Amino acid sequence: MADAKFVGWWRANQRELIHAVRTTVAAVVSLLMARLFGLPESYWAAITTIVVLQSTLGAAWTISKQRFAGTALGAFVGALLASYLPGSVTAFGAGVLLVGIVCALLHIERNAYRYAGITVAIVVLIPHTAPAWAVGLHRFIEISIGIAVGLALTAVWPEAPVRAPTPATE
């Protein structure tokens, strides 16, 4: 009787349980890779992988390109501003505005702007002991590792397609 309940429970939850295992494997791999490179905030790689794995490969690829571009822009602008005005509200505001203007001029989507602004905030507002250029570079590498691992796992271990319910046989 207990076996039948478990089998029923497994069948009802199999897709979500496998997704949880895929996500866990990828997040741990990202974290370990970032630590292997000696990145000080390696958790960003794992967080990014978790975000990437919430989509199908096609959707993940599209949003990951935007995340990559936005993070690169935000890291560059944030590092530049934080080099001269670390922790400054004025530098933060100028950075968010600047990345917004650059994204508009380059016709980069709003998702990229969102990631650029987040990266500016992290690089400019969070106190760090490392030089601002290193903080920006580390942030970019951490996110890039998370994106790469998430996309690779999505390609190598794709999520099973949702099956349409079949009519019950009598």
Query: pLDDT tens-digit profile of 73-103?
Result: 999 999 999 999 999 999 999 999 999 999 9
The percentage of residues in the chain with a pLDDT greater than 90, rounded to a whole number, is: 72
Length of the chain: 170
28 pLDDT above the threshold of 60: yes
pLDDT band at 159 (very low <50, low <70, confident <90, very high): confident
Find out whether 140 and 70 touch, Cβ atoms under 8 Å: no
Find out whether 18 and 30 touch, Cβ atoms under 8 Å: no
User: Count H helices, E strands: the chain?
Assistant: 6, 0
The chain-wide mean pLDDT, for the chain, equals 91
- Neighbouring CB atoms inside 10 A of 25's CB total 15
pLDDT band at 166 (very low <50, low <70, confident <90, very high): low
